[in-house]
Amino acid sequence: MTQRRTHRWPKPMGQAARRIWYGGDYNPEQWPESVWDEDIELMTRAGVNIVSLGIFGWSAIEPEDGVYDFAWLDRIIDKLYKAGIAVDLASATATPPMWLTQEHPEVLWKDERGDACWPGARQHWRPTSPIFREYALRLCRAMAEHYRDNPAIVAWHVSNEYGCHNRFDYSDDAMRAFQHWCKERYHTIEAVNDAWGTAFWSQRMTDFTQIIPPRYIGEGNFMNPGKLLDFKRFSSDALKEFFKAERDTLAEITPNIPLTTNFMVSAPGNALDYDDWGAEVDFVSNDHYFTAGRRHLDELAYSSSLVDGISRKHPWFLMEHSTSAVNWRGINYRKEPGQLERDAMAHLAMGADAICYFQWRQSQAGAEKFHSGMVPHAGADSQVYRDVCSLGEDLHTLSQAGLPGTTLSTSRIAVVYDYASEWATEHSATPTQSVRHWTEPLDWFTALADCGLTADVVPLAGDWDHYDMVVLPSVYLLSETDARRVREYVAGGGNLFATYYTGISDEHDHVWLGGYPGAIRDVVGVRSEEFAPMGEGDGTLDHLDLSNGTVAHDIADVITSTADSARVLATYQADPWTGIDGVPAITVNTYGEGRAAYVGCRLGADGLAASLPAIFEAMGVTLPVWQGSGDVLRIEREGHDDGDHPAPRFIFQFNRTHHPVTVDASGTILVASLAADLGDGTATISPNGVLVTKQ
Catalytic residue annotation: 161, 320
Strand order in the sheet with 316-320: 259-260, 153-157, 86-90, 50-53, 21-26, 352-357, 316-320, 285-287, 262-263
The conformation of residue 467, written as its DSSP 8-state character, comes to S
Instruction: Give the H or E element holding residue 632.
Output: strand 632-638
DSSP lists the bridge partners of residue 499 as 599
Residue 352's contacts (CB-CB under 8 Å, 6 or more residues apart) are: 304, 307, 315, 316, 317, 318
Q: How far apart are CA 510 and CA 665, in angstroms?
A: 53
DSSP string, 170-191: -SHHHHHHHHHHHHHHHSSHHH
DSSP string, 319-370: EE--SS--SSSSS-PPPPTTHHHHHHHHHHHTTEEEEEES-SB--SSSTTTT
State the alpha helices, DSSP H only, in 148-261: 172-186, 189-196, 225-253
C-alpha 630: how far from chain center: 24
Q: How far apart are CA 640 and CA 404, in angstroms?
A: 12
Asked whether the beta carbons of 350 and 636 are under 8 A apart, the reply is: no
Closest CA to 242 of 128, 91, 92, 105: 128
Provide the sign of the torsion angle of the four alpha carbons 154, 155, 156, 157, taken in this order. negative
CA atoms within 13 A on the CB side of 594: 22
Residue 145's contacts (CB-CB under 8 Å, 6 or more residues apart) are: 253
Pairing label, strands 682-694, 594-599 = unpaired
Is 342 annotated as ligand-binding? Answer: no
CA dihedral 461, 462, 463, 465 (to 10 degrees): -50
The conformation of residue 679, written as its DSSP 8-state character, comes to S
Is 201 annotated as ligand-binding? Answer: no
Is 167 annotated as ligand-binding? Answer: no
Known binding residues for substrate are 122, 160, 328
